Amino acid sequence: MSSKRNFINLIGYMAYRAVFISIFSLLSVAAFAEDNYYQFNKIAHLNHSEGEPSQWLQLVTHPNNIQQYFVINKTGQMYLVDNMQNPHPVLDLNANNLKESSSIKLTSIELHPNFALKGQLGYRVFYTAHLEVLDEKSRTKRLQERSDELILKFDAVITEWKFSSDDYQKVDLSTKREILRIAVPDHTMTIKQMSFSPYAKSWNDNFGLLYIALNGQENWQKPLYSGVLLRINPAKFGLRSFTIPNDNPYLKESKIKDEIYLLGGQNIKQFIWPNKNNENILLSHHHNDNHLLSLTNGQNDWRNGAPKQMIYQSDKAIEYVLLYRGSNLSYLRNKLLLLRQKNQKWFIESLAVTPSVYDNTLKENKPQQEWQLPSQQLTSSSEVTFSINRDGEVLILDKTAGMIFQMYQNSSGDNTLVEEQVTTSEIQTSSTNSLYIVFILMTAIGVVFYFFKRNKFSAKAVVRKQFAHIELSESELQIGLYQRHQSSTDTIIDIVDITNCKVKLNNQTINVINQKAGHGFNDAKEQDLRNILTKEQVDKMVDGKVRQVNLLITDINEKYYTVCLYMRKGSDRVTKKTYSVVIDDLVNWCWLIATKVNPDETGNRKKKPAIPSESSIDLAEQRQNQKPLHDQAAAIRSITHDALKTPHGEELELTNEQSVTQEDKEDVNLAEPLEQNNVNSNTIDTELVDALEKLVNLKQEGFLTQEEFTKAKENLMRSLFEKSKK
């Protein structure tokens, strides 16, 4: 029978391989034919005064509201665009400017990582960078290079602000706090960008560190003006408006400012983090007459030489770089998108994030042209920049016309970006591609149906897709999630970030904990939960029946994590812990999470057992796994049969009153059996207690029959009674 099953699986696997190769080939053809079909849609118009040239500069999306955008212009104003309505002014830096002869020039904006997290440090906080005439009376810490050759005329200033309310309609001007001033020699040397690492979490050491790009020029050899990245912690510390991370690379260099993270970048246009698994930064900069995309770990000095590790090098300008992490343009995911202008037309190209230069050994990494932006909407005289919305989709800001566009993939094949008329051959190609797609869908449905039938009741397949273990940190502020057979934490979640917790039995929700009224936890809810789980335990595990207990956790970012605490199919238990242990652990987790998520709706627990640590769990499992359960059952069966014979060799007959009832399944509590046999509980032998617990466990797991369980129990009770009389 096993050989036949293996043969069927082998045939199915070979069929799957053949179909997969066919689908991959057809998808490649279809992707090649369809990859340039995109829509370019206007989503907002930033109105400005008629006849006055627009000065729009940067677009930032609200991290939690896809309908809200913040946009700034060069003349010092910040606007809120809400639900595609006309922009609403929220901040004007020149409104209270006492220097009427010179206006403030806004150059960059950045939101705090906790901008949308209520109750967290940094909530509703953002930062602006602007250029103004040198203010010698300012008491804010100023960075500058001192030399007789330098005439410092301007200040590049970073300021912290906070919105007055959750609707973001107005900035509270009383929260204004200057972080840093950098004295610069001319108006072209500005803070081009400020950013926090998008991958740093609240428990990481580099969380909340602000990276600042100050562009420079080749002829400025002073370190601060050579084109640098600065790295600071903008949080106030005592009398200091910011602090310097203790792992900044130039702390021991007396001639280089401690705040500097990278040197010699020259004209820095932009920087991004291309990979969440390391701290490398990708710089887009103009260096020694070349336009480069260079990688740095923050310890590079490029004043006397070009970067050694580059993604791309070109003699033509790169206006903007974006790492695409959205889903609409699926085949471009995790690629760099380059915005460039050629022959007075705007193009978007894609580029793999692959270093192309190591120790001056060149490996070509050429960008691929994806589409041409329509010239009737983006003219050659327009200033254009990229941005992303909350979901990681591409937004394009026409700074000149004040228009916001979004890129969409067009499944219908109607390419609004292509200006030429569609020829007959293109129509035929489109029809052929439609047939390919239909064939692919039919084939894919067949493959999915085959594997669904094959894996429908595969318990191990289900467990492998979910987290297998959950653990509380020593600080009791975080929980760690582990994958199956892994000893290191895969995911760490702050308990305060949990917004919803569901207990599921066989994929049916039996308890919910969230911030809504009535969704806390108390003793009554605990008893209801235990009753449901215990009732499931009574049901017989026939062949093919699946018993599964899951904990489904959702965080503030609407990401959910499923932990499979218990999985059993028939007589085969896939997970380690027994059902009774899982119930206790599950109740403990419900109490812990409820006290953090909804304390007002959570009662006081009468008895609060601690969440078992990893060491105690290991010790319990070691005791349980010292000997296979079927071997333990065989030993008990043999001893019980021999011990319960009469002097004449006949087996004792048991009455109906001695048969197993529901209470036998809860014999871990020995109060009632001991009272029936008139045994003082203070004389109970520890070994007999452990034996009775083991006996109940064997019965629950199906290793002992009803009759064997009854005889073994009576034998233990009789031994206990005899021992108490000695």
Cα 472 to Cα 481: distance, rounded to the nearest angstrom: 9
| 248 shares its domain with 100 | yes
| 110 shares its domain with 199 | yes
Structural domain of 438: 2-29+424-455
Residue 401 lies in a domain: yes
Quick: pLDDT tens for 127-153: 999 999 988 888 899 999 988 778 899
CA distances from 401 to 329, 343, 371, 397, 526 (A): 26, 20, 21, 9, 61
pLDDT band at 306 (very low <50, low <70, confident <90, very high): confident
Residue 670 lies in a domain: yes
Residue with tokens 């429908």: 456
Q: Is the pLDDT of residue 653 over 80?
A: no
On the CB side of 557, CA atoms within 13 Å amount to 10
Quick: pLDDT tens for 420-433: 333 333 444 455 55
| 645 shares its domain with 685 | yes
CA distances from 577 to 485, 586, 630, 698 (A): 14, 12, 17, 14
pLDDT band at 451 (very low <50, low <70, confident <90, very high): low
Quick: pLDDT tens for 195-254: 999 999 888 888 999 999 999 877 777 899 999 999 999 999 988 999 999 999 999 999
CA distances from 572 to 524, 578, 695 (A): 33, 12, 19
| 506 shares its domain with 441 | no
Q: State the pLDDT at residue 300.
A: 87
Domain count, the chain: 4
Rounded to an integer, the average pLDDT of 582-600 is 89
| 365 shares its domain with 270 | yes
Q: State the pLDDT at residue 113.
A: 95
DSSP 3-state assignment of 452?
A: helix
Cα 444 to Cα 319: distance, rounded to the nearest angstrom: 41
Cβ atoms of residues 162 and 119 within 8 Å:
no
| 560 shares its domain with 639 | no
Q: State the pLDDT at residue 726.
A: 55
Domain boundary among 594, 624, 654: 624
Residue 418 lies in a domain: no
Mean pLDDT of all residues belonging to the chain: 77
Residue 414 lies in a domain: no
Q: State the pLDDT at residue 450.
A: 52
Structure tokens at 6: 């293996």
Q: State the pLDDT at residue 231.
A: 97
Q: State the pLDDT at residue 541.
A: 73
| Pairwise pLDDT comparison (178 vs 712), residue with the higher score | 178
User: pTM score > 0.75 for this model?
Assistant: no
Quick: pLDDT tens for 5-52: 455 555 555 655 555 555 544 444 444 334 445 677 888 888 655 445
Q: State the pLDDT at residue 114.
A: 94
Q: State the pLDDT at residue 657.
A: 35
Q: Given strand 491-494, what is the order of strands in its sheet?
A: 469-472, 478-482, 491-494
Q: State the pLDDT at residue 106.
A: 93
- Percent of the chain with pLDDT strictly greater than 90: 28
CATH of the domain at 126: 2.120.10.30
Dmax over Cα atoms in the chain, in whole Å?
119
